[in-house]
Each structure stands twice: as structure tokens, then as C-alpha cells.
Structure 1
Amino acid sequence: MDIGVVELSRLQFAMTALYHFLFVPLTLGLSILVAIMETVYVMTDRPIWRQMTKFWGTLFGINFAMGVATGVVMEFQFGMNWSYYSHYVGDVFGAPLAIEGLMAFFLEATFVGLWFFGWDRLSKVGHLVVGWLVAFGSNFSALWILIANGWMQNPVGAEFNPLTMRMEMTSFFEVMFNTVAQAKFVHTVSAGYVTASVFVLGVSAWFLLKGRHVGLARRSIAVASSFGLAAALSVVVLGDESGYDAGLNQKMKLAAIEAMWETEPAPAPFTLVGIPDQQARETKWALHVPYVMGLIGTRSLTEEIPGINQLEEEAERRVRSGLIAYDALMTIQRDREATDRAVMQSFEDHSDDLGYALLLRRYLDDPREATDAQIAQAAEDTIPHVWPIFWAFRIMVGLGFLFIATMGYFFVQSSFRGGRYPTWALRFAVLIIPAPWIAAELGWIVAEYGRQPWTVDGILPTALSVSALSVTELLLTIAGFATFYTVLFLIEIKLLLKYIRKGPTEDVQLTDDWNTAHRARLAPAE
């Protein structure tokens, strides 16, 4: 196989996925925040809340449209760049993807249209119901994508059929309620809520600094900080659940996140900072926090977390076991009708390790001809590049605690300090607007880069999943996608800035009584 094709295919998918995920978190979070604001409007009948709903809803609509446009490309890539992957696991992966398509392009899009064009055609309650349906549709659309992705991380509810040479679903229930998928879903949508909360907080802070739309800005900060604080706290808790699932199902990923080369005595410490050296198999200048990693990865004081070196030894054992399954599979394929029962039993006994034997296809056409050195190399290939995962995880976690502190501060100021915000705090809120996107992208790097060398963990190597394309074709499409996505991203930024500068389209005048009672709160505190 052409490794250049494999790496370029990975680059293209990573690029388009990271671009697409620039739009997803804001859509998830803004849909809920807008629905909350409209709920308050329907309950109180105050025009200011209608103004807030329509203003933030406009920004949601811009982002939603861009997210749909970039998401379409993602699904086409499975057939274009990853044809063998689509053939091998399409019966399993295709089901949640198809459901997501139906929800995103029919249910969700329909309600978005009703929400934007139904202000004067629907009753207040009817329009509110549509708003919540938009929010639920956006979030449940993400659920099905993450069910599909979760299956790639932890392939349950399916088995390999040696006659059809494909993975086949055995339990849709297991695929849908895969613990990895559920943990990824709640963690991802919570991160989206944080993203939208920081966005609303930052834009509102900018309004206060400019002395514009003060009533809208102060109420928006109150909603965003309270919702964002709950979301930021939940991200930490749900991230802990993801760590525990990785300890159960993706031990190599967890060891790489921690740069844990040797198995540590239980409970393992957490490496706060350090310099992973993959060639020397050590982490230099490491600063450890006792017990923390053991509690995250095992929720136990006595259970060990295996290190990278020990997992590599286990991988070599599984490669050798997989070769027995591969040999039996080739015998079955030569004569499907006359296959001896002993051969079928041999395959069944070792079929769980077949994917490890397929790692050898990177080096030779027939894995059964592999030398000991090639088997050892295939086992070493199960170790992802450690330092990007190690640092991406730590920066992401650090940003997560920053969001908790920021939301907590603004929540206290808005709820208990009379809504007075120092100028430095408002400026800081504006400056950190990009931070949640950085954290979200780093989270995807940890999840997806940490799964390598697998497309489907333990089942299908990435190197076997690609289409028969040329390097030239891939370079041209990468250039095309990069140009297209960059243009869309610039359009998104331009439109968002335009409508933020423009402000609310409905001008709501606060009553004299309100102005009198709250005049001292209208200017940011120095």
C-alpha cells in the first residue's frame, strides 16, 4: 500500500473534521441558550427578552447554516477517501449515520425554518415549542454522530462474518447504548454549552465596554454565566467518565495521554507536566500528582493501569494470535462449503485478534509470511505519537478549569454583587472568546489521534481503510477543501461581526422606573 495515500487521506479527513467542528459547538450551545431566553420571554412577556432571543437567534442561524454546509462534505468523504472502511463496517456505521442525516436535514432543518419565519405566524407558546425542538434536534443530531464515532472507539454489538468479509451488526441496542458513545455525547454537548456561554459572555462584555445595548448585555451575561458555570462543571465530571471508559476499553490511549511507559503501582499518579520522549521511552522532568490517574482510570486504589511497554507486549501476543485467525480465514475463503469444522473453530477462537494481524498488511501482502521483526514492528505501531496527545489533553483540561473560574466569577458578580463588572473582567471575557474552540479541537485530537493506528479500534487498521486514490488526486482535493472551508470560515466570521456590530434589530426602550432603579449598574465598574 502507498503510505503517502494513507497519510494524505488522514490529513484531509482531519482538516475537514476540525473545520466542521468550529461550527458544531456554538450551534449546540446557542440553540439551548436561545430557547431559555425565549422561555423567559413567554413567561414574563417582557420585550427585552424577545429582543435577546431574536438577536442571539440570528447569530445561531448564521452558524447553523455554515455547520450544515461543512458537515455534508464529511459524509461524502467516507465513500470517496475511505471506501474499504465503508465496505468493511458500513452495515454498522451506516445506521446511526443515516439516522443523523434524517434528523439534521429533515427534522432539524424544518424546525429551524419554522422558528425563523414563524414569529408572526405562530402563537408565542407554539413558537417557543418550535424553539425547543430546534434545540433538541441539534443536540440529538450530534448524538447519532457520536454513537457512530463511539462505535469506532469501542466496537460493540457487531461481529466479523468470515464468509462476507464484513462486520455485521448483532445488536443495535448495544451500538446505541455503547458506554463510550454515551460518555462522548454528554461530554461533547457540555463542551458546546460552554462554547456558546463564553461566546455570549464575550459579546455581551463588548457591548458593555462600548456602552451599547446595556439591558440586553446584562441579562445575557446573567444567563450565560449561570448556564456556562453548570456546563463547565459538568464537562469536568463527564470528562472523568470518558477517562474511566478509556481505562476499560482503550488502554493504550489512556497510557499515551498520561505518557505512562511502565505500569505504575496502584493507584497511579497523574503527570501534571513533563516532556515525553518516545524514542527513549521516558517522560523527562515529570511532575506527578499522587493517586489521581489511578482514580480517574480505574476508580480504584488497588487496580493497576498498564503502561505503554506492557501494552506493546500484549499487542505482539495479539498479532501472533491474529495470524492464526488470518490463516483460518484464508482457508475458509478458498473453499467456503468444504471448510473443516476445526478450521472454523480455530478462527472463532482467535477472531478477536484478527485486526492485529491486519496491521502487518502495511509491510507485506500476506501477513503469514511476516518475520519476528515485522511482528514486533506491528506491535510497536499500536503506540500512537505520545507528545501531541499528552500536551493536547493538558491544555484542554487547563482551559476547562479557566472556564469554570471565569463563569463562576461572572455568576457571582451578576447574582450577588449587583451586576457590576470591572473593566478588566469585561476585557478578559472578550479576549477568551476563541478559547473554547481551542479546547474543543484539542479534545478531538486526543480522541481521534489517540486511537491510531486504528480506524475501528482493534478491528480495522487505518492503513487498510483508504480508497485507491493517487497522491495527486488527494493533494488537489485537499487544496480544494482547504480553500472552500477557509472561505466559509471567513464568511462566518464576517457575518457574525457584522450582526454583532449592528446589534439587535428590535429597539427596546427600558422603562423610566427600571432606569431609575438600576442607573448605578449601567456603567462597568473601574
Structure 2
Amino acid sequence: MDLDIVALSRLQFALTALYHFLFVPLTLGLSILLAIMETVYVMTGRPIWRDMTKFWGILFGINFAMGVATGVVMEFQFGMNWSYYSHYVGDIFGAPLAIEALMAFFLEATFVGLFFFGWERMSKVGHLVATWAVALGSNFSALWILIANGWMQNPVGSAFNPQTMRMEVDNFFEVLTNPVAQAKFVHTVSAGYTVAALFVLGVSAWYLLKGRHIELAKRSMTVAASFGLAASLSVVVLGDESGYLSTEHQKMKLAAIEAMWETEPAPAAFTAFGFPDQEARETHFAVHIPWVMGLIGTRSLTTEIPGIIELQKKAEQRIASGINAYDALQKIRAAGSTANIPQDAKLTFQAHGGNLGYALLLKRYVDDPRKATPEQITKAAWDTVPPVAPLYWSFRVMVGLGIFFILLTGTFFVLSARRSLDKHRWLLHVAVWSIPLPFLAAECGWIVAELGRQPWVIEGVLPTAVAVSNLGASTVLLTLVIYTLLYTVLLIIEWKLLLKAIRKGPELRAETIADARRRGNWTPPVSPAGAE
């Protein structure tokens, strides 16, 4: 197998996914914030809440369009770059994607049109229902995508059929209720809510600094601070659940995140700081916090968390078992019909079939895993260790930023309660400069989830190296360059459109201005030219 194709295919999917994930969290969070703002409008009748909903809706629409454009390409890649993966698990993986398109995306896309064009054509309550349908559709889309992704991390409710050489569903309910998928869903959408809250908070802070749209900005900041505080706290709590599930289903990922080379006595310490060295298999200048990792990872004081070296030894054992499964599989396929399958081959495959994927790790080094040398088995076992340093630092950047978001949104929540949002200009500057940070945290979270799964495209079942299409490296490289350029252009276009809409600001209707003056809340805005 040409490993250049594998590396290029992985790089292409990673880049397109990272670009796409710049748009998804903001879409998820803004959809809920729009629904909250319009709910307040319907309940109070205050026209400023309608203008707020329409303004933030424009920014939502720009981001939604870009998210759709970048997301469609990702689904095509399963057939273009990962055709064997699509063949191997299409019966399972395709179902959530199809449901997402039919039930969730179409719901969301349909009601997006009603949101933008139904203000003067629908009743207040009718339009509010459409807005909440957009929000629910956005979150349903994320649910089905993460059910598919969660199955890749923890392939439950399925079994390998040696006759068809495919994974097939044997319990779709288990696929839907996969605990890894559920934990990933709530963690991901909470992260999206945090992204949107910090975005609204930062843009509103910019308006306060410029003396523009003050009443709208203060109300937006109040909603964003409250929503963002709840969301950022949820991210931490739900992230802990994801870590706990990794202890059960993805032990190597957890050990790599902690750069835990040796198994420690329970409860394991948390490595707060250090420099992982994968070649030396140690972490230099490590600073440990006793007991913390054991409590987080196992929720007990007596359960061990296995280290990387111990898990590598277990991988060697599973590869040896997988070779037995591979040998039995060849006998089953050679038999032709079910009636001719040797009984010993059936029994051997039943005993060792769960480790067949580990034998496929040897395909990097030898065409027939049964001919692998002990040295090749050891190398394949070490391949089960993902890149430690990127995981280690991505996780710590994500957690550090998460703590910062709690502090920032908590501070503005207190200020909003005291009606002093504009009393500390330095805090407003912090909010503005913090806008990119939740996007960075979301990208780090994606890296932890997906890079930590390597070398598996399906955990323990199908190695990434055998899942690619039979393409030339030059073909993949060409599409990689094209996608990177195209996505970069789209990203630039989106930010230009967002900045243009933000600089222009909301269009306040005469009804809104009159209502604000009647209540004594009207502050004449600084002209946009002066504000620049």
C-alpha cells in the first residue's frame, strides 16, 4: 500500500473538517440565541428584541451558508478518498447520515427561509415556531452526525460478516443510544453554544466601545453572558463524562492525552505540565497533581489507568489473536458456501474475530498478516499509539480556554446583573479580543477526538491505512490543494461579510427608537464613520 496516499487522504479530510468546524459551532449556538431573543420579543412585545433577532440572524445566515458549502464536500470524500471504508461500514455509517439529511438538514434549511422572509407574512407566534424549528434542526443535524462519529469511536450494535466482508447492523437501537455518541453530542453542542455566546459578547462589547447601538448591545451581552456561563460550565461537566467513557472504550487515547507512559498505582496523578517525548517514551519536566487523573478517569480511588507501554503490550497480544482470525477468515472465504465452511474455522473466528482489525494493522508492513515477523508485530503494536505531543497540548489548550470562558462569562453575568456592563472598558476590550478563542478551543477539541483515535478509522475494527481509495498520490495532492485554496477563499469571504454586517450594524426601526425614547433608554448613536 502506498502510504503517501494514506497521509494525503488523512491530511485532506483533516483540513476540510477543520475548516468546516469553524462554521458549525457558531451555527449551533446562534440558532439557539436567535430563538431565545425572539421568544423574549413575543413575550414582551418590545420591538428592540425583534431588531436584535433580525440583526444576529443576518450573521447566522452568512455562517449557515458557508457551513453548508463546506459540509457537502466532506460527505463526498467518503466515496472519493475512503471508498473501502464506505464499502466496509456503509450499511451502518450511511444510515445516520441519510437520516441527518432527510430529517434534520431539510427541516433546518426549510425553516431558514421562513425565518428570513416570514417576518411580515407570519404571525409572531408562527414566526417564533419557525425560528425554534431552525434551532432544533441545527441541533438534530449535529445529533445524527455525532451518532455516526460516535459509532466510529465505539462500534456497538454491529457485527462483521465474513461472507460479505462488511460490518452489518445487528442492533440499531444500540447504535442510536451509544454512550460515546450521546456524550460527544452534548459536549459538542455545549461547545457550540459557548462559541456563539463569546461571539455575541465580543461584537456587543465592540459596539459599547464605539458608542453605537448601546441598548441593543447591552441586551445582547446580557443574554450572551447568561447563556455563555451556562454553556461553558456544561462543556466542563460534559467533557468530564467524555473522559470517563474514554477510560472504558479508548484507553490508548486517554493515556496519550495524559502522556502516561507507565501504569501508575491508583489513583493516577494528572500531568499538569510537561514535554512529551514519544521517541524516548517519557515526559520531560513533568509536574504532577496527585490523584486527580484517577478521580477524573475512573471516578474511584482504586481503579488503575493503564499506561501507553502496557497498552502496547496488550496490542501485541491482540494482533496475535487477530492473525488467527485472519487465517480462519481466509478458510471461510475459500469454502465458497456456508455448508462447506470447516467447523474449526468457524470456532476459531468466533473466538478471535473481535481482534481481526488488529491483524489488519500489519497490512502496512506485509501483504499477508500471517507472514508477519515478530518485529513487524511489535511495530504494528506501536502504531496503536497516536501522536502524543499534539494530543497532550491540544487538550490542555482546550481546558485552559474553557476555564477562561467560565471566568469571562461569569464576570459579565455579574456586571449585567449590576447594570454596569460598560463601566470597565478594559473588560470590553478583553471580550472583543476573545472572539477567536472559542473557535481555537473547538478546533483543539476536534484534534483531541479525531487524532486520538488514530491509527483507527473505526476503533479496533478498521485501520485508517487500509480504508483509503485506490488513487494516485498526485490526484489526492491536486484535490488537497484545490480544496485548501477554495476553503481559504470561502473563509475570507465569510469574515468579510460578517465584518461588513457588523460595521453596518442593526437597522433599528422607528418603532424601536420611539419605544426606547418613551422609556428613557435611548442613547443617540455615534456615526459609523466616527466609530471606525
TM-score grouping bracket, smaller chain normalisation: over 0.9
Deviation for aligned residue 1:518: 9.3
1:514 and 2:519 aligned: yes
**Helix, strand or coil at the partner of 2:66:** helix
Aligned residue in 1 for 2:166: 166
Deviation for aligned residue 1:249: 0.2
Aligned residue in 2 for 1:20: 20
Could you give the per-residue CA deviations for residues 406-465 of structure 1, whole angstroms, max 9, x where no partner exists? 000000000135444311000110001000000000000000001000000000000000
* CA spacing shift, 1:105–1:189, aligned 2, 3 Å: closer
Aligned residue in 1 for 2:197: 197
Aligned with residue 357 of structure 2, among 355, 372, 378:
355
Q: Partners in 1 of 2:444 and 2:411 — Cα distance?
A: 25
Aligned residue in 2 for 1:309: 309
Matches within 5 A, 1:291-330: 291-330=291-330
Q: Partners in 2 of 1:307 and 1:239 — Cα distance?
A: 21
Q: Partners in 2 of 1:353 and 1:199 — Cα distance?
A: 46
Amino acid across the alignment from 1:164: T
Amino acid across the alignment from 1:514: R
Aligned residue in 1 for 2:530: none
The worse-fitting range, judged by mean Cα deviation, of 337-346 and 210-219 is: 337-346
Aligned residue in 2 for 1:51: 51
Deviation for aligned residue 1:516: 6.5
Amino acid across the alignment from 2:517: D
Amino acid across the alignment from 2:81: N
Could you give the per-residue CA deviations for residues 231-275 of structure 1, whole angstroms, max 9, x where no partner exists? 000000000000000000000000000000000111111111100
Deviation for aligned residue 1:505: 2.1
Aligned residue in 1 for 2:366: 364
Aligned residue in 1 for 2:398: 396
Deviation for aligned residue 1:515: 2.9
Aligned residue in 2 for 1:523: none
Q: Partners in 2 of 1:70 and 1:513 — Cα distance?
A: 46
- Checking the alignment, whether the CA contact within 8 Å between 1:414 and 1:420 is kept in structure 2 is no
Could you give the per-residue CA deviations for residues 102-155 of structure 1, whole angstroms, max 9, x where no partner exists? 135421100111111110111000000110010010001000000000000000
Q: Partners in 1 of 2:92 and 2:423 — Cα distance?
A: 52
Aligned residue in 2 for 1:34: 34
**Helix, strand or coil at the partner of 1:287:** strand
Aligned residue in 2 for 1:155: 155
- Checking the alignment, whether the CA contact within 8 Å between 2:208 and 2:422 is kept in structure 1 is no
Q: Partners in 1 of 2:152 and 2:521 — Cα distance?
A: 59
Q: Partners in 2 of 1:164 and 1:55 — Cα distance?
A: 54
Deviation for aligned residue 1:280: 1.1
**Helix, strand or coil at the partner of 1:23:** helix
Amino acid across the alignment from 2:163: L
Query: Percentage identity across aligned positions?
Result: 68
RMSD between superposed Cα atoms in Å: 1.2
1:124 and 2:129 aligned: no
1:457 and 2:459 aligned: yes
**Helix, strand or coil at the partner of 2:168:** strand
**Helix, strand or coil at the partner of 2:367:** coil
- Checking the alignment, whether the CA contact within 8 Å between 1:358 and 1:461 is kept in structure 2 is yes
The worse-fitting range, judged by mean Cα deviation, of 333-342 and 90-99 is: 333-342
1:385 and 2:390 aligned: no
- Checking the alignment, whether the CA contact within 8 Å between 1:51 and 1:504 is kept in structure 2 is yes
Q: Partners in 1 of 2:494 and 2:344 — Cα distance?
A: 61
Amino acid across the alignment from 2:15: M
The worse-fitting range, judged by mean Cα deviation, of 58-67 and 335-344 is: 335-344
Aligned residue in 2 for 1:274: 274
Instruction: Return 5+ residue gaps in structure 2 as ranges.
Output: 525-532
Q: Partners in 2 of 1:421 and 1:230 — Cα distance?
A: 23
1:68 and 2:68 aligned: yes
Q: Partners in 2 of 1:315 and 1:385 — Cα distance?
A: 16
Aligned residue in 2 for 1:9: 9
Aligned residue in 2 for 1:479: 481
* CA spacing shift, 1:257–1:187, aligned 2, 3 Å: same
Aligned residue in 1 for 2:90: 90
1:143 and 2:143 aligned: yes
Deviation for aligned residue 1:291: 1.1
Deviation for aligned residue 1:512: 3.4
Q: Partners in 2 of 1:204 and 1:426 — Cα distance?
A: 9
- Checking the alignment, whether the CA contact within 8 Å between 2:422 and 2:428 is kept in structure 1 is no
**Helix, strand or coil at the partner of 1:22:** helix
Aligned residue in 1 for 2:417: 415
Deviation for aligned residue 1:28: 0.1
- Checking the alignment, whether the CA contact within 8 Å between 2:105 and 2:138 is kept in structure 1 is no
Deviation for aligned residue 1:230: 0.2
Deviation for aligned residue 1:517: 9.9
1:438 and 2:443 aligned: no
- Checking the alignment, whether the CA contact within 8 Å between 2:157 and 2:173 is kept in structure 1 is yes
Total equivalences in the alignment: 519
Q: Partners in 1 of 2:4 and 2:135 — Cα distance?
A: 42
**Helix, strand or coil at the partner of 1:167:** strand
- Checking the alignment, whether the CA contact within 8 Å between 1:323 and 1:367 is kept in structure 2 is yes
**Helix, strand or coil at the partner of 2:519:** helix
**Helix, strand or coil at the partner of 2:212:** coil
Q: Partners in 1 of 2:252 and 2:167 — Cα distance?
A: 23
Aligned residue in 2 for 1:522: none
Aligned residue in 2 for 1:524: none
**Helix, strand or coil at the partner of 2:22:** coil
- Checking the alignment, whether the CA contact within 8 Å between 2:215 and 2:522 is kept in structure 1 is no
Aligned residue in 2 for 1:467: 469
Amino acid across the alignment from 2:124: K
- Checking the alignment, whether the CA contact within 8 Å between 2:48 and 2:508 is kept in structure 1 is no
Amino acid across the alignment from 1:440: A
Instruction: Return 5+ residue gaps in structure 1 as ranges.
Output: 520-526
Amino acid across the alignment from 2:433: L
* CA spacing shift, 1:77–1:130, aligned 2, 3 Å: same
Deviation for aligned residue 1:35: 0.4
Could you give the per-residue CA deviations for residues 463-511 of structure 1, whole angstroms, max 9, x where no partner exists? 0000011111011101110111111111100110011011112333153
**Helix, strand or coil at the partner of 1:499:** helix
Aligned residue in 1 for 2:493: 491
